[in-house]
Amino acid sequence: MKPYAFLMLAAAPLLAQTTRESYRVPYQAWRDAAPTLEQDAATPNLEFAGKAQAAAQAAEKFLAARADFITATRADSTTQAEWAAKPLEHAEAMLAPRAEMQTLLSRAGDFLNTNIASFSSIKDPAIQQVRQAMERERAALNSLNQTLSARQPFLKDVVESTEEAEILRTTVAQALRNASSTREQVAAHIRNEAGAWTTYYRDLTEGAASTARVSSSGAPNPAAPAKPALVQRPSPAGQTPLSRYVGSWAYPARNGIFLGAEPQTVELLVREDNGKLTGTLVAKFVPSATVTDPNLRFDFTGLIQQTRKQVYPLMTPEGVAGTIELIPGAAINLLEVNLQTEANGNKVRSANFVLLKR
């Protein structure tokens, strides 16, 4: 295993005691709380207000549990980022021979060479024995130096691997810090969403009460105007909250997700008015062989559709038509955009990217 492989293992998510079941159970309770509440609002009975209140409490409990889970994973990410922020000890410092050892070996070699040369002309048997002992010592010293020299290529490989690991470490540390910050934003959005659902159920109750008064009197009550149609609870087969589309969106400066033409900057503003979505997109893409004019701007508008994916026609200032698809992302602050245009000279004709809500 490469010396830096442990970084990828250590960076794997380590969830805290809070598990996904902590919010899945209350989510199911929310889905089960008066599942036909919106349909019942047309002909409310005496139990309607209580059911709406129970649904509001279930929604609040689910969103609080979901935010707590996100916060718990943020704590794990922060701990990992703190660990990854510590620089690795350089391999050369750990494995290379110390300078004082190299100095000692060099001096010892010089001493032996000088004395062996001095004793070589002396015929005294005792001196010759000392000389032979010095020669054996010099041979052992030479063997040690050869071993240290043979270590150098391997040391170089270890040093290079450590440098690669250090680059990966800094990348992992930054990614973990970004993940921690994003989780904090997601948790804040979820807590804000809880208030929106409380308002929704209150308005639904008031609208149902208005309907009941109109039905009983046979004429509209000016003091209790009928409420417009409201957004239903999110469901794979139902309508998605407008907050997943409306707002100011931008392409992240780092770690952006795209397919096809690569964006440099994207600014998208989406507004809702009387059941319509109206938007303006301004983008700049990375130039390529087929895209020498990287700038793109267009407006779009259309009725809100009862599907998760909102598809609208677009028109550029140059009169080029196309389509734009708005698709809610994996998190409530992410929006996937898929756009296609007709032949438009050297501009981008198709692109897919994920935007972050401001």
The domain that holds 248 is classified in CATH as 2.40.128.120
Q: Using an 8 Å Cβ cutoff, are 245 and 310 in contact?
A: yes
Number of domains composing the chain? 2
Whether residue 337 contacts residue 309, with contact meaning beta carbons closer than 8 Å, is answered with: no
Q: Which of 233, 260, 277 corresponds to the end of one domain?
A: 233
Q: Are residues 204 and 255 in the same domain?
A: no
Confidence of residue 80 (pLDDT cuts 50, 70, 90): low
| pLDDT of res. 301 | 92
Q: Is the pLDDT of residue 211 over 60?
A: no
In terms of residue numbers, what domain contains 310?
239-358
Mean pLDDT of 194-210: 79
Given 233, 252, 270, which residue is the final one in a domain?
A: 233
Which range (25-34, 92-101, 162-171) has the least confidence?
92-101
Q: Which of 233, 268, 290 lies at the terminal end of a domain, its last residue?
A: 233
- In this prediction, residue 251 carries a pLDDT of 93
Q: Distance of CA 326 to CAs 291, 301, 354, Å?
A: 23, 12, 10
On whether both 47 and 180 belong to a single domain, the answer is: yes
Q: What 3-state DSSP class applies to 313?
A: strand
Is residue 251 domain-shared with residue 321, that is, in the same domain?
Answer: yes
Please, are residues 247 and 270 in contact by the beta-carbon 8 Å criterion?
yes
C-beta neighbour count of 341 within 10 angstroms? 21
C-beta separation of 335 from 354 below 8 A: yes
Q: What is the dihedral of CA 120, 123, 124, 126, to 10 degrees?
A: 50
Question: Is residue 32 domain-shared with residue 107, that is, in the same domain?
Answer: yes
CB atoms within 10 A of CB 18: 17
Least confident stretch, 98-112, 240-254, 276-290: 98-112
The reply to whether the predicted model has a pTM over 0.75 is no
Please check the confidence at residue 260 and state whether its pLDDT lies above 80.
Answer: yes
Question: From the CA atom positions of the chain, what is the Rg in Å?
Answer: 36
pLDDT digits (tens, 9 = 90+) for 239-254: 578 888 999 999 988 7
Are 228 and 243 contained in the same domain?
Answer: no
SS3 of residue 358 by DSSP: coil
Co-location of 42 and 112 in the same domain = yes
pLDDT at position 323? 92
Q: What is the pLDDT of residue 40?
A: 80
Give the lowest-confidence range in 41-45, 165-169, 294-298, 313-317: 165-169
